[in-house]
């Protein structure tokens, strides 16, 4: 099903128009304030223009963030779920203690950790963290037999000296944590312009001169480094570095492989000016090709290096414990999104029915649920099914524009005309 971008582009256009009106009103405010001959007349007009500018900026910002929220929780959520095998995308991933108490989301400092938690990122031993760290756009899933969790990270260092404050970005990009098929006791790092946390790690060069020019390699034990960084692994890392621009770093710790890609931007950003179209989604797809590239190039799905004890300790259930079991709300969203759509007939309306994937997710999500949670879960799932049917035409396509949204846009259009007329009258009268 081809996603419809019409509603998002219309909303973004209105948000941009209100922003431009705000800028024009601010300019007109200063023109009237400093060029009017009669201050008693200029004062009220300037005050009115300032109010228009302020209100327009609030409306424009609110419209953009409303569009961003709807787009990420709707079209982008479905697109990523279909692009990455067994993927679950959540713009916000709250810690359990915050998830249970909605008011804590507003006031807790942990609210900035909407993706990977900082202790998960810190376990990488190299991803730079400052005193202002934000994570968001959380994704987890399974490619082949390899589980992963991932999110964007924006890490900044805020400093203040002699009354002057400054902000320095340390990292902005995506961090991915894979299950690794070579359980190790120690640390092995291959870093492109990153530095390890610990000064106790020894810098060890590999046998590849080209690799040594690109990456600095560190290890808690030199033999361990050569055990992990085989010629095949070195070639795989070099290929990943060539195919994915930006500073990249790899860390092998315990049973995990940490990958950090410093792009200088968010991977799931929503452009404020450029329209959303198929090319935009293709750009996102290229950013996320690294998930498949990592598994294939580094053969992460190959358990050749795991001995029997390790395999038993690391045994994975066929049904993976991923984000769909994190809370009933997330599970219901995932299940409703993958159910089969049945168009209406002469005897029955359009419906959604379970397929193998949705039934598997439902059985797994409800397997250990309490009766109260099960009731809440079924109510949430029923609501999401009705919502998806409401938003879908009889042919299975997404409705281009709802009546409610149309009314909102008509009201916004009238407000724009009134605001522009007010600016013109104030300037002309001044």
Where do the domains of the chain lie?
6-73+403-429, 91-313, 323-390
Q: How high is the pLDDT of residue 172?
A: 92
Find all residues with CB under 8 Å of 408, minimum gap 6, and list them.
Answer: none
The C-alpha atoms of residue 150 and residue 177 are separated, in whole angstroms, by 6
CB atoms < 10 A from the CB of 64, how many? 19
Find all residues with CB under 8 Å of 271, minimum gap 6, and list them.
Answer: 280
The C-alpha atoms of residue 36 and residue 43 are separated, in whole angstroms, by 9
Most confident of 134-138, 170-174, 317-321, 370-374: 170-174
Most confident of 14-23, 44-53, 78-87: 14-23
Find all residues with CB under 8 Å of 76, minimum gap 6, and list them.
Answer: 89, 268, 284
- Judged by DSSP in three states, 215 sits in coil
Cβ(194)–Cβ(187) under 8 Å? no
Report the 3 state secondary structure along 42-100.
HHHHHHHHHHHHHHHHHHHHHHHHHHHHHHHHCHHHHHHHHHCCCCEEECCCCCHHHHC
- Length of the chain in terms of residues written: 430
- Judged by DSSP in three states, 114 sits in coil
Q: How confident is residue 316, by pLDDT bands cut at 50, 70 and 90? A: very low
Find all residues with CB under 8 Å of 138, minimum gap 6, and list them.
Answer: 89, 90, 91, 92, 93, 114, 115, 116, 149, 150, 151, 323
The C-alpha atoms of residue 294 and residue 223 are separated, in whole angstroms, by 24
Q: What is the mean pLDDT of residues 409-414?
A: 70
Cβ(231)–Cβ(211) under 8 Å? no
Give 375-402 pLDDT, tens digit per residue.
Answer: 878 888 888 888 777 767 666 565 555 5
Residue 107 clears pLDDT 50, i.e. is over it: no
Give 218-230 pLDDT, tens digit per residue.
Answer: 998 888 888 888 8
Alpha helices in 89-230 (DSSP H): 96-99, 104-107, 118-122, 209-214, 222-228
Q: How high is the pLDDT of residue 306?
A: 44
Distances from the Cα of 334 to the Cα of 73, 141, 275, 426, angstroms = 11, 12, 27, 52
Pairwise pLDDT comparison (303 vs 38), residue with the higher score? 38
- Tokens found for residue 184: 């190790």
Query: Which sign, positive or negative, has the C-alpha torsion 28, 29, 33, 38?
Result: positive
| Maximum CA extent, the chain | 89
Q: What is the mean pLDDT of residues 98-121?
A: 60
């Amino acid at each position: 099903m081809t996603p419809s971008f019409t509603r998002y582009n219309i909303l973004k256009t209105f948000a941009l128009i209100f922003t431009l009106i705000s800028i024009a009103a601010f300019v007109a405010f200063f023109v009237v304030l400093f060029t009017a001959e009669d201050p008693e007349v200029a004062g009220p007009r300037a005050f009115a223009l300032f109010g228009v500018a302020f209100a327009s900026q609030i409306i424009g910002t609110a419209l953009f963030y409303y569009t961003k929220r709807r787009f990420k929780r709707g079209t982008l959520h479905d697109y990523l779920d279909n692009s990455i095998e067994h993927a679950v995308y959540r713009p916000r991933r709250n810690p359990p203690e915050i998830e249970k108490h909605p008011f804590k989301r507003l006031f807790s400092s942990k609210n900035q950790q909407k993706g990977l938690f900082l202790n998960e990122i810190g376990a990488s031993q190299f991803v730079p963290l400052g005193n202002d760290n934000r994570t968001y756009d959380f994704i987890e899933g399974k490619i082949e037999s390899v589980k992963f969790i991932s999110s964007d990270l924006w890490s900044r260092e805020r400093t203040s000296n002699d009354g002057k404050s400054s902000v320095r970005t340390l990292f902005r990009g995506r961090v991915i944590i894979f299950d690794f098929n070579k359980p190790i006791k120690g640390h092995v790092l291959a870093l492109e312009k990153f530095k390890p946390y610990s000064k106790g790690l020894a810098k060890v060069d590999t046998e590849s001169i080209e690799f040594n020019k690109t990456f600095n390699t560190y290890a808690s034990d030199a033999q361990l480094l050569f055990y992990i960084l085989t010629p095949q692994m070195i070639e795989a890392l070099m290929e990943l570095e060539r195919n994915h621009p930006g500073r990249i770093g790899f860390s092998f710790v315990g049973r995990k492989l940490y990958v950090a890609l410093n792009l200088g931007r968010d991977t799931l950003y929503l452009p404020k000016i450029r329209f959303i179209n198929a090319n935009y989604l293709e750009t996102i797809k290229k950013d996320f090709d690294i998930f498949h590239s990592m598994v294939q190039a580094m053969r992460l799905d190959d358990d050749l290096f795991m001995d029997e004890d390790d395999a038993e300790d690391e045994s994975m259930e066929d049904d993976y414990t991923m984000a769909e079991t994190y809370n009933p709300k997330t599970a219901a969203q995932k299940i409703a999104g993958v159910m089969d759509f049945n168009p209406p007939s002469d005897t029955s309306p359009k419906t959604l029915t379970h397929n193998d994937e949705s039934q598997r997710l439902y059985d797994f999500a409800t397997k250990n649920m309490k009766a109260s949670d099960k009731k809440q879960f079924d109510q949430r799932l029923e609501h999401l099914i009705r919502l998806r049917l409401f938003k879908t035409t009889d042919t299975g396509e997404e409705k281009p524009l709802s009546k409610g949204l149309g009314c909102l846009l008509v009201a916004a259009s009238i407000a724009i005309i009134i605001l522009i007329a007010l600016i013109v009258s104030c300037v002309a009268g001044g």
